């Protein structure tokens, strides 16, 4: 139960980070939940297999396997936060929303338009 509450808290924190970047939060929150439970399952499975190999198939499973499963879940959540960290901010405007009809108005890599300075002989006219 505490694990689900922790996932909800992480989803809210991820949503706040994505809101600052002006991105939709739900795809990455879904990714967080999938990575959390997927990482937990895979890490628990690997720890269970190693435990069964070392101690035999009839050995009792202890808290160590659950600790590895939680570690795998945290790795899955950290992966999602890392992916969100690498995302650039969404600063582009939708098509047709720009006030000018200039196609280079929103392109940061377009050459800058410089007005000529009549006092400068090297200025473009």
Residue 38 lies in a domain: yes
In the numeric block, the tokens 């690997």 are attached to 46
Residue 114 lies in a domain: no
Residue 119 lies in a domain: no
pLDDT digit string, tens, across residues 23-78: 999 999 999 999 999 999 999 999 999 998 988 877 787 888 999 999 999 999 99
With bands split at pLDDT 50, 70 and 90, how would you rate the model's confidence at 105? low
Residue 25 lies in a domain: yes
Residue 91 lies in a domain: no
122 vs 46 pLDDT, higher one: 46
- Tell me the residue range of the domain where 64 lies: 2-86
Q: Which residues, in sequence order, are CB contacts of 7 under 8 Å at separation 6+?
A: 32, 33, 36, 77
Long-range CB contacts (within 8 A, 24+) of 63-70? 68/43, 68/44, 69/40, 69/41, 69/43, 69/44, 70/3, 70/40
56 vs 113 pLDDT, higher one: 56
Indicate the number of domains in the chain: 1
Residue 22 lies in a domain: yes
Residue 120 lies in a domain: no
């Amino acid at each position: 139960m505490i694990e689900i509450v922790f996932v909800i808290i992480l989803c809210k924190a991820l949503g706040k980070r994505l809101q600052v970047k002006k991105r939709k939060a739900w795809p990455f929150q879904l990714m967080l939940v999938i990575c959390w439970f997927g990482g937990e399952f895979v890490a628990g499975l690997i720890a269970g297999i190693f435990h069964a190999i070392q101690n035999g198939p009839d050995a009792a499973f202890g808290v160590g396997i659950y600790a590895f499963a939680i570690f795998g879940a945290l790795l899955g959540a950290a992966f999602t936060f890392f992916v969100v960290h690498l995302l650039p901010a969404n600063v582009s405007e939708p098509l047709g929303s720009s006030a000018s009809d200039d196609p280079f108005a929103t392109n940061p890599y377009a050459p800058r338009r410089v007005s000529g300075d009549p006092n400068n002989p090297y200025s473009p006219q």
